[in-house]
DNA sequence: CTTAGGG
DNA sequence: CCCTAAG
């Protein structure tokens, strides 16, 4: 553990941020009371949750438990073989799509200890992915594994640490989803085949330097757009740029592109897996292992969706089911006549019951760090601790209907849009830290990331040091928070938007988040595990980014930037005017300019939203006009509007090259 | 990745 | 704001 500390410090300035940036919208830190998890059997907890949700379910846990074991076992075998066979292709595939998913399927909540342990041990991504087929033993060193990986030659050359990381990254690309879906209790309208499912974790060792190279950081997190992969690319590609802070977003796109490039490489048959595979999987209740899982992800560009628990609706009669809330749109519809599946019959509360089964819950993301020379066995234990921690630290259930969080607990299901009419396929559940005070208003805010772990993702824009330090497991309650706050302010969106008051503090959440750092007291080798708060992304869904109207100040900054840079260099304009406003991308800026031009050209009565001073609009038109002409003409010199031009109250309709600008002062902005 | 435009 | 074709 002490080594951890050392390492983190080692990653000073030169290092990259530890945690990827958060989704564009909804960036918040979350609290997570460090309810000194009394080792609450996570699964018991889940069982409880499931129990609540399953209105009439008389758990068929016992049976499931037994079944689960077998299936897991089988699945694992299959995975292994499959991986051996299709190794390479799949690996890159999975990686490219950025969804190195791995999930440990934990049998039904009521599972007994032995089984529990078993299932946890087996399907771990670490084993199935990182170590792939080359490592069997539980005592191998991560380092060794790395070497082996690179030796296979299937990955990129090991030229430096970064590369090595990549290798590892690629290696752990496959996922396993061992669906355990045994419906034992046929009498129950609601089949509680619930199972705990770890997210499609992906473990990505972080690059390291010099002495620190002995540590491997595994960002094990919920498969999502915010991948360490993104982070890594980001740093590699743009580290040299001051503007790397916006890299995340860019990367996201890049990854998307890569995914698309990969998809076509699949064989026709494989490609269709996304639908066919899933379909058959759910329909036939067959096991789906790593490879398939990977493929499912490929066509999906909907990664933004969180991994909600899968909900299966049942039609007691037909015994048909449909999985719902599949992150992958398109799949969901294919499953079956989803509507029918939710139909309810013969019930006392005639036609008013909603029946469904929660197939599985996904565990929030985890952040793990272990030394490179860590043993596999130890890492497994670490992960186990992480799981236990996250499950035992207090969870509550969140519900999502049609992509939206249902926060009002007082609503009836009907009011929430849940009825037996068949829309259950839009229903999803999430597990969230129960200590986190949900505030709808706060949720959509773009809060500064104060906590390295919970805030996750958004940190790429900041120097890494503070993050590193905060990872110190030994300082869960350290004053680091304050530091972060201060630090954050420096990097937070500049005071460019007076209309965007500093987001309300979320003390509870913030302070609580730090408690996420957990040091297992049970295992000497255990390492700090930090469950990443799932809330962030889960609440975000795949919705478009939250709308952020440009404030007048921002508009002014934009206008000024355009006046100087022109309308063809949006990236520069963005950097110039919104350097610290991470939520503004150059595309946003460009779009805004577009609308500004439009706004400026229409009657004031037709304008909507916060009125923009006519003065600014005038400047918009002028600048727009100016740059338009510049382009058509001698584009030899990308000259910016000179002072002279700006000072000149010239005619906008100049035919010749001498386009001039009015006397609006450029430097008066802000 | 950036731009430029349509949606 | 999103998505994408182009560059």
Per-residue pLDDT band for A433 (boundaries 50, 70, 90) equals low
CA A35 to chain centre: 25
Residue A300 in contact with residue A326, Cβ under 8 Å? no
Structure tokens at A643: 């002072």
A309 or A25, higher pLDDT: A309
Q: How far is the CA of A590 from the C1' of C7 (A)?
A: 17
Higher confidence at residue A426 or residue A73?
Answer: A426
Q: How far is CA A230 from the centre of its chain?
A: 10
The yes-or-no verdict on residue A611 having pLDDT over 70 is: yes
Phi first, then psi, for residue A446 (nearest 5°) are: -105, 75
Query: pLDDT-derived band of residue A593, with 50, 70 and 90 as boundaries?
Result: very high
Residue A602: pLDDT over 80: yes
Q: Give CA–CA dist A155/A168, Å, rounded.
A: 9
CA distance A179 to A183: 12
pLDDT at site A595: 92
Residue A440: per-residue pLDDT: 30
* Phi, psi dihedrals of residue A470, rounded to the nearest 5°: -70, -15
Alpha helices (H) along A285-342 = 290-297, 338-341
Confidence of residue A186 (pLDDT cuts 50, 70, 90): very low
**Which positions on chain C have an atom < 7 Å from some protein CB?**
1-4
Residue A594: pLDDT over 60: yes
* Residue A450 CA, nucleotide C5 C1', distance (Å): 39
Q: Which nucleotide is nearest to A247 (CA to C1')?
A: B1
Higher pLDDT, A628 or A421: A628
Strand B surroundings (CB within 7 A) = A 233-234, 237-238, 243, 246-247, 249-251, 253-254, 257, 567-572, 586-587, 590-591
Distance CA A27, CA A454 (A): 9
Computed over every residue of chain A, the mean pLDDT equals: 45
CA of A166 to C1' of C4 (A): 28
Mean pLDDT of the region A242-267: 35
Say whether the CB atom of A542 is under 7 angstroms from strand C: no
> Rounded mean pLDDT of A551-563?
89
Residue A354 has what DSSP assignment? Answer: -
Does residue A309 or residue A62 have the better pLDDT? A309
pLDDT of A356 over the 70 cut: yes
- Match 């110039």 to its residue by tokens: A576
Q: Check if residue A302 sits with its Cβ under 7 angstroms from strand C.
A: no
CB of A446 lies under 7 Å from some atom of strand C? no
A544 contact to strand C (CB, 7 A limit): yes
A251 closest-nt by C1' vs CA: B1
Cα–Cα distances (Å) from A329 to A11, A278, A322, A555, in that order, read 40, 12, 14, 36
Q: Is the CB of A587 under 7 A from strand C?
A: yes
Token output for A31? 């609290």
Parallel, antiparallel, or unpaired for β A404-405 and A395-401?
Answer: antiparallel
Tell which wins on pLDDT, A583 or A162.
Answer: A583
| Dihedral over Cα of A207, A223, A72, A85: its sign | negative
Nearest in space to A111 (alpha carbons), one of A179, A28, A195, A33: A195
Is the predicted pLDDT of residue A612 greater than 70, yes or no? Answer: yes
**What is the CA A365 to chain-centroid distance, rounded?**
9
Whether the per-residue pLDDT at A588 is higher than 70: the answer is yes
Mean pLDDT to the nearest integer, A362-391: 76
Nearest protein residue by Cα to C1' of nucleotide B6: A591
| Å between CA of A568 and C1' of B4 | 9
CATH number for A552-668: choose from 1.10.10.10, 1.10.246.220, 3.90.1150.10, 1.10.357.10: 1.10.246.220
What is the rounded CA–CA span in Å between residue A91 and residue A104?
19
Residue nearest to nucleotide B2 (CA to C1'): A571
Query: How far is residue A139 from each of residues A16, A136, A145, measured CA to CA in Å?
Result: 30, 9, 11
Q: pLDDT-based confidence at A591, cuts 50/70/90?
A: very high
Indicate whether A485 pLDDT > 80.
no
pLDDT at A589: 92
Q: Quick one: tokens of A330?
A: 């398109």
| Through-space separation of residue A550 CA and nucleotide C1 C1' in angstroms | 12
Cα A480 to chain center, whole Å? 25
- The CA-based angle A474-A214-A166, given to 5 degrees, is 110
pLDDT tens across A327-340, in order?
333 222 222 222 22
Share of chain A above pLDDT 90, in %: 2
Share of chain A above pLDDT 70, in %: 22
Distance, in Å, from the CA atom of A320 to the CA atom of A318, rounded to the nearest integer, reads 5
Has residue A621 got a pLDDT over 60? yes
Q: Is A360:A310 a contact under the CB 8 Å cutoff?
A: yes
Mean pLDDT, range A643-647, rounded to an integer: 48
Q: What is the pLDDT of residue A379?
A: 85
- Count Cβ neighbours within 10 Å for each residue of A447-471 and write b for 16 or more, e otherwise: bbbbbbbbbbbbbbbbbbbbbbbbb
Most confidently modeled range among A152-166, A231-245, A296-310, A532-546: A532-546
What's the Å distance between residue A496 CA and nucleotide B1 C1'? 26
Instruction: Using the structure, give the distance in angstroms from the CA atom of A520 to the C1' atom of C5, rounded to a whole number.
Output: 52
Calculate the angstrom distance between C1' of C7 and CA of A140.
48
Tell me which of A116-120, A561-565, A613-617 is least confident: A116-120
Say how far A94 CA is from C3 C1', in Å: 23
Token pair 């990443």 is found at A532
Alpha helices in A97-123 (DSSP H): 113-121
Protein footprint on strand B: which nucleotides are under 7 Å from a CB?
1-7
pLDDT of residue A542: 60
Residue A237's nearest nucleotide, by CA–C1', is B1
Q: So where are chain A's domains?
A: 2-540, 552-668
Confidence grade of residue A583 (pLDDT, cut at 50, 70, 90): confident
A546 CB contact with strand C at below 7 Å: yes
* pLDDT > 50? residue A535: no
Does residue A572 have a pLDDT over 70?
A: yes
Write the DSSP assignment of A467-520 as a string of letters. Answer: HHHHT-TT-TTSTHHHHHHHHHHHHS--TT-TTSPPPPP-HHHHHHHHTT-B--
In whole angstroms, what is the distance from residue A468 CA to residue A462 CA? 11
Judge whether residue A500 has pLDDT over 50: no
Alpha carbons A134 and A149: distance in angstroms, whole number: 8
Low-confidence winner among A173-182, A217-226, A564-573 (lowest mean pLDDT): A173-182
């Amino acid at each position: 553990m002490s080594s951890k500390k050392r390492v983190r410090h080692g990653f000073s300035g030169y290092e990259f941020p530890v945690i990827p940036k958060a989704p564009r919208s909804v960036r918040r830190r979350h609290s997570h009371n460090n309810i000194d998890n009394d080792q609450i059997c996570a699964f018991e907890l889940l069982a409880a949750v499931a129990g609540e949700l399953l209105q009439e379910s008389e758990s068929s846990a016992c049976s499931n438990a037994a079944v689960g074991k077998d299936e897991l076992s089988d699945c694992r075998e299959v995975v292994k073989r499959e991986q051996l066979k299709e190794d390479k292709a799949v690996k890159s595939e999975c990686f490219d799509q950025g969804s190195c998913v791995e999930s440990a399927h934990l049998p039904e909540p009521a599972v007994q200890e032995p089984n529990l342990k078993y299932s946890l041990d087996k399907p771990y991504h670490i084993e199935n992915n990182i170590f792939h087929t080359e490592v069997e033993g539980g005592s191998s060193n991560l380092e060794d594994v790395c070497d082996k990986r690179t030796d296979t030659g299937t990955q990129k050359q090991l030229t430096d640490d970064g590369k090595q990381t990549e290798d590892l990254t690629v290696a752990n690309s496959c996922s396993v989803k061992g669906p355990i879906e045994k419906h034992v209790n046929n009498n129950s309208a609601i089949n509680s085949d619930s199972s705990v499912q770890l997210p499609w974790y992906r473990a990505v060792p972080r690059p390291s330097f010099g002495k620190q190279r002995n540590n491997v950081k595994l960002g094990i997190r919920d498969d999502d757009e915010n991948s360490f992969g993104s982070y890594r690319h980001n740093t590699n590609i743009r580290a040299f740029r001051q503007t790397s802070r916006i890299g995340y977003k860019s990367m996201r796109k890049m990854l998307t592109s890569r995914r698309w490039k990969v998809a076509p490489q699949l064989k026709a048959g494989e490609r269709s897996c996304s639908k066919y595979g899933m379909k058959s999987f759910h329909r036939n209740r067959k096991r789906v292992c790593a490879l398939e899982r990977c493929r499912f992800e490929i066509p999906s560009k909907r990664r933004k969706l969180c991994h909600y628990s899968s909900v299966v609706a049942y039609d007691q009669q037909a015994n048909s089911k449909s999985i719902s809330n599949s992150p992958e749109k398109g799949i969901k519809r294919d499953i079956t006549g989803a509507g029918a599946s939710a139909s309810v019959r013969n019930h006392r509360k005639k036609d008013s019951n909603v029946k469904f089964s929660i197939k599985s819950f996904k565990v929030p993301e985890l952040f793990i760090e272990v030394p490179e020379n860590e043993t596999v066995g130890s890492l497994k234990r670490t992960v186990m601790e992480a799981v236990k921690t996250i499950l035992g630290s207090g969870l509550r259930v969140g519900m999502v209907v049609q992509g939206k969080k249902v926060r009002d607990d007082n609503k009836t299901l009907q009011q929430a849009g849940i009825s037996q009419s068949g829309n259950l396929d839009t229903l999803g559940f999430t597990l969230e830290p129960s200590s986190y005070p949900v505030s709808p208003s706060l949720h959509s805010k773009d809060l500064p990331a104060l906590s390295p772990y919970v805030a996750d993702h958004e940190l790429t824009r900041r120097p890494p040091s503070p993050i590193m330090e905060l990872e110190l497991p030994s300082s869960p309650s350290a004053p680091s928070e304050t530091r972060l706050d201060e630090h954050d302010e420096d990097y937070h969106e500049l005071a460019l938007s007076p209309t965007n008051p500093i987001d309300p503090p979320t003390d509870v959440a913030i302070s609580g988040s730090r408690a996420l750092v957990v040091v297992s007291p049970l295992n000497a080798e255990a390492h700090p595990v930090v469950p990443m708060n799932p809330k962030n992304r889960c609440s975000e869904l795949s919705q478009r980014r939250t709308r952020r109207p440009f404030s007048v100040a921002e508009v002014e900054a934009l206008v000024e930037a355009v006046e100087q840079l022109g309308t063809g260099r949006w990236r520069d304009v963005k950097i110039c005017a919104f350097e610290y406003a991470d939520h503004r991308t150059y595309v946003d800026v460009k779009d805004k300019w577009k609308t500004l031009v439009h706004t400026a050209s229409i009657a004031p009565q037709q304008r909507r939203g916060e009125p923009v001073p006519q003065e600014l609009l005038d400047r918009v038109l002028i600048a727009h006009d100016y740059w338009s002409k510049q382009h058509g003409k001698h584009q030899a010199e990308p000259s910016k509007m000179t002072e002279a031009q700006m000072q000149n109250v010239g005619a906008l309709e100049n035919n010749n090259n001498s386009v001039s600008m009015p006397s609006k002062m450029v430097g008066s902005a802000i």
